[in-house]
Structure 1
């Protein structure tokens, strides 16, 4: 059992256990959501290294296998390893540019593995330090980071919707974009259905139906599924022993710092979405699992591992917070790594279908961040400046990818990520405006300190009934029904309408009954 658990953890939202069938279905939905992202790095790096298609296939299978093991470690957890949250692990896209540069520098794929191994060891040692910065992630910071995760992933969804391969003749065609739009429409319609099970599986079902539509239109090709081996275990050190080059290691250490920052943000984001407590120890356990998986990865022919931000959106949109669902997804990834034929089936899903699903998924992440920012107090402080500057700064490398081309490589590596850019800026500005005392009255030094003392007006207490309680941001009555919270004007309008309806059936309401919620026992028949 993980060191972060105690006797009360059974009540955590992420510890919910669903029926086996639903668990596997939701887990598959997670796999399909991140599949395109996890196979992209080996395709890019293998191509840059001049590997054959068979060798690139080895890289892909290894990425799936190790990503599955890392996901299981992260979600199930053992002492000191794993944050026990619904986070999918996989090959980090943040390291692709650096690894391609190492390959082009003459070191080959072995130098990439050596740099990953050494940098991940450094990341493992400094993981506890990163865990201690959680106090510098108040809602004004986490809201910015979560919003930027969604915004920064939007170009990925757009590229998928256009076809995924910019060199293809039909890239950006109306057919591809139309297929993505159809998949998006299916997902929205399924989400609208009253059946909760179908609504929660809307993304998976939309992908399946989108693929069927693509087959009918001749836009999907499953002819190569039967080609190749049915079963293959990833061969350790299939490309030889890692080679250690100082320049590559230094560059990769910078990438690892970015990965640690982004994984910390993802842990905080999924914790916010799941409505569960995330402390420094839990973050440290998650980061150690991240780096331990990255240390093992080079020996199994793959690269740095990190949490996948797009799957955070899936947790938000489906409302399925169980970490065991993601554990099932990790198991599916392991199977895909051992059974290349299944991987070829998933790989045959048209990229445009993934793009349609990605639009709503990544948008949901941004919306979750906006919801977090809505909880921030903006009066009497400079939180609005923090949010505005951080989001705009984070958008720079997204809207203008070559913005940092003239900067030193190490600087560009860090700030080329919109997530990292926004996180760094938000943390620094929060320190400047909310933590440092000079220039700001002490009472306004923090967004939390600036909040007024907690008080409840007497008339509000009188309107409550026995059994009323506050749960997940909502007022719930004794019967489990939500009690609407409205403005004074909305209350007056609703009360007048209610009185008119009662008068129409011969029921009068006493004049004194004008509290925030009328009690049924005070109504009298005329």
Structure 2
């Protein structure tokens, strides 16, 4: 097995090419690919601070500050994850953004403190402490890697894709609460963007094919302009330059109950991040070891500590960008590092972020359908290496996948299913990705790892063929 921690290789004498993951592309291509990754992640990054800030009744100025802080923290954590420092960062093309997993818990904490700045002080304190504790626990958590064979990986990655698709459908309909939400106009623009993406990726040669989604989004935005779907007023109200300050809402408060709640959220995030790292490892043909997982989780946790200091929330790997890797076939981690730099620029120059913000949500939705669906397809490809034909073991494997998909889809199909359960169950199982991963791991442990009188099927070992991008 190749060493997963190789640095960039330069061989001017022999001319041997570098590993695709470590390939340094020309600046123009890096910026184009980085912008494409940024556009795929942008709406996801700004949504949690907007939702949480609105629920806590923060004024508009504080909402804008939260969004800038989240963009800055996401950019810095993406750089940390892709470039790496010491044993921090998995050094794979992994975009980091704000996790959705903690939204419900943070709103609950906020309501118990009457919202506003006081609530943010408790939330920030809990995020910092929980992330710092998990930073040191990352090596222990990474030992669970043996419980992610292709059966588990394929099922979980499929759940990741399925869980993301409703997000793109929501974007396709436009701004929720607006008078044209779900209108034929919005859906048309979204589907046009999807169709353009397919046409460009299929028929257009050269580098344009690699950034097909970006080109399709630009065209989709241009078409949307005469239809009145592009809000240029966002440009006029944006400041040219602003630096998010530390502890904007005041010194953090450390309350045990809130810290425990955020620690549970961090465990959920670490489960999702592990699945994402393993999926990325398969796609770029660089198998991920327990040490790599520990390095990646340290980056997530340190990024979350930094985010807390910037008044932001937990950092997490973004599954939606996995689909972009499959679409573009560009595996360079430096293309994603460029995305991190762009996010930092957006955070420091709100006027630049406003330019990105004018891209209509339906355009993002059309592109999202393509890239999120590709994540699920990649999971199905991994499952194709699993034995479903053996008379006894095949049935067990099929039932494990069936249960995983059911538990993963449950929070989407019935959002209030866990409403009357204890809060910690709502936190853990309210995430389809986390509940699906837990289901797959536990059932595989019971019926394959412990074997319960049965042999393990050959296709379930971690040595089975990696999924090719």
- 2:395 aligned with 1:384, yes or no? no
- Alignment match, 1:510: none
Distance 2:417 2:466 in 1: 45
Question: Equivalences for 1:118-517 in 2 at 5 Å?
Answer: 118-165=129-176, 167-380=177-390, 381=393, 382-440=396-454, 444-448=455-459
TM-aligned CA deviation for residue 427 of structure 1: 0.7
Q: Is the 8 A contact 2:304 2:315 kept in 1?
A: yes
Deviations 1:52-103 (A, max 9, x none): 1111111111111111111001000011100001111111111111111111
Q: Is the 8 A contact 2:242 2:348 kept in 1?
A: yes
Q: Is the 8 A contact 1:13 1:276 kept in 2?
A: no
Counterpart of 2:36 (choices 29, 41, 57) is 29
State the aligned residue count.
Answer: 452
Distance 1:352 1:472 in 2: 31
- Alignment match, 1:50: 57
Question: Equivalences for 1:43-82 in 2 at 5 Å?
Answer: 43-82=50-89
Q: Is the 8 A contact 1:65 1:338 kept in 2?
A: yes
The 1:33–1:78 alpha-carbon spacing in structure 2 relative to 1, beyond 3 Å, is same
TM-aligned CA deviation for residue 447 of structure 1: 3.8
TM-aligned CA deviation for residue 448 of structure 1: 4.4
* Structure 2: runs of 5+ lacking an equivalent: 11-17
Q: Is the 8 A contact 1:436 1:445 kept in 2?
A: no
- 2:98 aligned with 1:91, yes or no? yes
Q: Is the 8 A contact 1:12 1:276 kept in 2?
A: no
The 1:16–1:7 alpha-carbon spacing in structure 2 relative to 1, beyond 3 Å, is closer
Distance 1:211 1:67 in 2: 25
- Alignment match, 2:13: none
Q: Is the 8 A contact 2:72 2:348 kept in 1?
A: yes
The 1:450–1:208 alpha-carbon spacing in structure 2 relative to 1, beyond 3 Å, is closer
Q: Is the 8 A contact 1:88 1:307 kept in 2?
A: yes
TM-aligned CA deviation for residue 51 of structure 1: 1.4
The 1:90–1:319 alpha-carbon spacing in structure 2 relative to 1, beyond 3 Å, is same
RMSD: 2.1
Instruction: Report the secondary structure of 1:306's partner residue.
Output: strand
Distance 2:408 2:458 in 1: 22
Distance 1:56 1:301 in 2: 11
Instruction: Report the secondary structure of 2:228's partner residue.
Output: coil
TM-aligned CA deviation for residue 6 of structure 1: 4.1
Distance 2:234 2:98 in 1: 25
TM-aligned CA deviation for residue 319 of structure 1: 1.1
Distance 2:98 2:204 in 1: 37
- Relative contact order, CA 8 A, sep 6+: which one is greater? 2
TM-aligned CA deviation for residue 471 of structure 1: 11
Deviations 1:123-161 (A, max 9, x none): 112211221111111100100111011000011011100
TM-aligned CA deviation for residue 439 of structure 1: 3.1
Q: Is the 8 A contact 1:182 1:210 kept in 2?
A: yes
- 2:40 aligned with 1:38, yes or no? no
Instruction: Report the secondary structure of 2:102's partner residue.
Output: helix
Distance 2:187 2:460 in 1: 49
Distance 1:139 1:6 in 2: 24
Distance 2:89 2:315 in 1: 13
Instruction: Report the secondary structure of 1:379's partner residue.
Output: coil
Distance 2:461 2:338 in 1: 44
Instruction: Report the secondary structure of 1:93's partner residue.
Output: coil
Instruction: Report the secondary structure of 1:94's partner residue.
Output: coil
Q: Is the 8 A contact 2:69 2:311 kept in 1?
A: yes
Distance 2:210 2:278 in 1: 23
Task: State the TM-score, normalizing by the size of structure 2.
Answer: 0.92
TM-aligned CA deviation for residue 227 of structure 1: 2.2
The 1:329–1:416 alpha-carbon spacing in structure 2 relative to 1, beyond 3 Å, is same
Deviations 1:184-234 (A, max 9, x none): 111111111140312211110111111111102111111330323201111
Q: Is the 8 A contact 1:242 1:298 kept in 2?
A: no
The 1:4–1:276 alpha-carbon spacing in structure 2 relative to 1, beyond 3 Å, is closer
Distance 2:439 2:466 in 1: 33
Stretch of structure 1 that moved more, 96-105 or 12-21? 12-21
- Alignment match, 2:126: 115
* Structure 1: runs of 5+ lacking an equivalent: 455-469, 475-526
TM-aligned CA deviation for residue 105 of structure 1: 0.8
Structure index of larger Rg? 1
